[in-house]
Amino acid sequence: MIKILVCGVAGHMGKNICELLKNDAGAEAVCGVDLHTPENFSGNVYKNFSEVSEKVDAVIDFSSPACLNDEMEYCLKNNIPAVIAATGYTKEQLAYIGECAKKIAVFRTANFSVGVNLLVKLVKEAAEFLGENFDIEIVEKHHNLKKDAPSGTALMLAESANSAFDEKKPYVCGREGNVGARGREIGMHAVRGGTIVGEHEVMFCGEDEIITLAHSARSKKVFAAGAIRAAKWITGKPAGMYDMKDVLKNL
Ligand SMILES: NC(=O)c1ccc[n+]([C@@H]2O[C@H](COP(=O)([O-])OP(=O)(O)OC[C@H]3O[C@@H](n4cnc5c(N)ncnc54)[C@H](O)[C@@H]3O)[C@@H](O)[C@H]2O)c1
């Protein structure tokens, strides 16, 4: 039974993780880090990582980029693998995560669903096949509490599409005003409302035809289950940067 520290344990995703782990024979949530106190969690919850006293096998982080330094310091000091699920990191923070992954095992993905990871692959294939003649527009839709935009998944999809081109296309987030004709770019658009779990559409718009590849998450459980799977998978792995491609070998 592996012992997991859940960072962001009082949040929506943290609660989902703890709920699933209650019935998991292979892993348990032993403690958490959060600024708030969750309901229905029996383990200790700390305000920051320096206070944690439990020995854990892995950290799952569904909090925010604000936790990163504190969390990495703790994981490096104790040689604990980290599953980084939060989104909205800066370029500098992503580079820092890469540096940490030289010393400990780090699993990072902006989306744990099998379907989205398949979509990422299909988007690259479509971009390679359709080439420069099709304009790429990404529309993502999330609940009204989401903090970052565009979503980490939209960025993953844009990166995947862009990997088809030698000369990368810049991202244009939303358009407003007298923007003129569309340039050689990837457009990204964030819709926020109600309790939408997560919708992503990648449109390839050509002359007189549109191909749309899309994914719709119907519950947050799909992400929680993927993160738990990743935590089990990464426990005991050597230092390195891992993602869903390592878990879903057939992708
Ligand atoms: N990778 C994925 O598949 C996936 C799926 C869903 C959500 N997410 C990401 O996970 C993150 C959390 O999502 P959520 O919907 O649960 O958000 P949420 O706001 O409901 O929960 C975040 C929790 O983290 C805590 N927190 C934030 N900053 C902190 C800090 N500095 N120290 C301690 N605790 C802190 C908050 O108090 C809160 O309880 C977001 O970045 C979201 O984009 C990723």
Per-residue confidence of the chain (251 residues) as pLDDT tens digits? 999 999 999 999 999 999 999 999 999 999 999 999 998 899 999 999 999 999 999 999 999 999 999 999 999 999 999 999 999 999 999 999 999 999 999 999 989 999 999 999 999 999 999 999 999 999 999 999 999 999 999 999 999 999 999 999 999 999 999 999 999 999 999 999 999 999 999 999 999 999 999 999 999 999 999 999 999 999 999 999 999 989 887 66
Q: Which of 12, 146, 221, 237 is an active site residue?
A: 146
Ligand 1 pocket: which of 5, 13, 72 to mutate (most atoms within 8 A of CB): 13
Look at the domain 2-108+220-247 and name its fold.
Rossmann fold (3.40.50)
**Strand pairing category for 82-84 and 105-108:** parallel
Domain range annotation of the chain:
2-108+220-247, 114-217
Q: Are 4 and 52 in contact (CB under 8 A)?
A: no
Residue 214, CA distances (Å) to 34, 99, 155 in order:
33, 33, 14
Q: Which of 15, 141, 142, 200 is an active site residue?
A: 142
**CA 41/CA 43 separation, integer angstroms:** 6
Say how many Å lie between the first and final Cα of the chain, rounded: 28
Instruction: Match domain 114-217 to its CATH number in 3.40.190.10, 3.50.50.60, 3.40.50.12280, 3.30.360.10.
Output: 3.30.360.10
Taken in order 232, 236, 242, 245, is the CA torsion positive or negative? negative
Q: Which atom of ligand 1 is nearest to the CA of 14?
A: 16
Q: List all residues whose CB is within 6 A of at least one atom of ligand 1.
A: 8, 10-14, 33-36, 62-64, 66-67, 85-88, 109-112, 223
- Ligand 1 center from residue 111 Cα (angstroms): 13
**Amino acid making up residue 78:** N
